[in-house]
Amino acid sequence: MDTFYDAATRVRNKPILKWKEEGRSVVGYTCSYVPAEIFHAADILPIRLRGIETDGMDIGDTYYGPFICSFPKCILQLAGKGMFDFLDGAVITPGCDAMRRLDECWRKAGEDYEGILPSYFYYFDVPHKTEPHGMQWFVKEIRNLIDSVERHFDVRITDEKLKTAIRAYNQGRKLLQTVEDLRSQAEIKVSGTDVFAATVASTVMPRGEFTADLEKWIQSIKQNKPLKNGQKRLMLVGSISDEIDLVELVEKDNHAVVVAENLCFGARYESNQIPENGNPVQALAEHYLGKSVCPRMYGKYKERLGFLKDKIECAGVDGVIMQNIRFCDLHGAENALFERDLEAMGIPCLRIEREYGPLIETGRIKLRINAFLERIS
């Protein structure tokens, strides 16, 4: 777990620094809709951009203002402080309007803070619907991204290289699904904090290194003794979160363990394998857009509710904690619907609004979690 925790809790972690020391390129991306396989096929390390280790908000507030989600503001803050100086490129997507604005805010900040804008800075558009016209659009966007990477980094991304990358990422997905199956068993042998650290690490580590470490860790989990009895089995859902501190806050001294989650940095897509034969670009599009359970997608609420219900039943969940970052309209509104419908099914829910990262109010949240656990006891 040492490698996973280092990767999950540090922006400039050991795997990234080692990759850079070898003279290889790193590209950061902001959203799970970006096919990481494209960069893997070009021997470029793709990493999810995160806002951890932020110690202020002077730059983020200057370009964004105060009344907006603190996650992209923290990313901009770190960029302005030079914490992403190892990046050779960045890909911004319209996951939501606040994330879309990161493109223009980072570009503007780059005019005022020399050297904070990577030489490769790309806007990757993502449709809000999966109907045929939306899928055709997304396929075109993927091809445009491939062409852009090839031109800027002077590489060649062939279909065979994409298929090899898909196989490599599928192997990691299978292993993460194995971890999900293990944590869902009646006898719990691994904490939710450890599992979340591993899944976050999967977004920033070289895939081969991550897969090798994950295989070893799974074998050790199987040898673990069960955790103590009487712990409440919880599920964590809602806004984007890469903070293992949040999961630890739920579990620590609470006689509770997170046995399932539905978070953007988590393992919610790992059960979906990408076809390794046929057209790789079409396969990537159908996976990253067609399998999405994100509330930014129109007309998919029933599918998202069904996805939660299936996970709750599979993992034997006693209660669901729904969190959203303040000013997150997408998850704030959807969490209210989830709470209404899950409570009607007899599933206890707790809804929390919070700030991201270093701004999180741990005392208030801890108090509410304690009250929620008393309720479901």
The ranges assigned to domains in the chain are: 21-153, 160-376
pLDDT in tens, 333-369: 999 999 999 999 999 999 999 988 765 678 889 999 9
CATH of domain 21-153: 3.40.50.11890
Q: How far is CA 76 from the centre of its chain?
A: 18
Per-residue confidence band for 1, with pLDDT thresholds at 50, 70 and 90:
confident
| pTM reported for the whole predicted model | 0.94
pLDDT in tens, 20-29: 999 999 999 9
Which pLDDT value is given to residue 359?
59
Distance (Å, rounded) from C-alpha 117 to C-alpha 135?
31
Which pLDDT value is given to residue 358?
64
Which pLDDT value is given to residue 286?
95
Q: Quick check: do 21-153 and 160-376 share a fold?
A: yes
Distance (Å, rounded) from C-alpha 90 to C-alpha 122?
6
> In this structure, what token pair is assigned to residue 274?
């990408």
Which pLDDT value is given to residue 266?
82
**CA of 187: how far to CAs of 228, 316, 374, in Å?**
9, 11, 22
Tell which CATH classification among 3.40.50.10540, 3.40.50.11900, 3.40.50.720, 3.30.470.20 matches the domain 160-376: 3.40.50.11900
Average pLDDT score, the chain: 93
Left, alpha or beta for 60 (phi > 0: left; psi -120 to 50: alpha)? alpha
pLDDT in tens, 110-120: 999 999 999 99
The residues with which 123 forms a beta bridge, in sequence order, are 92
Which pLDDT value is given to residue 143?
98
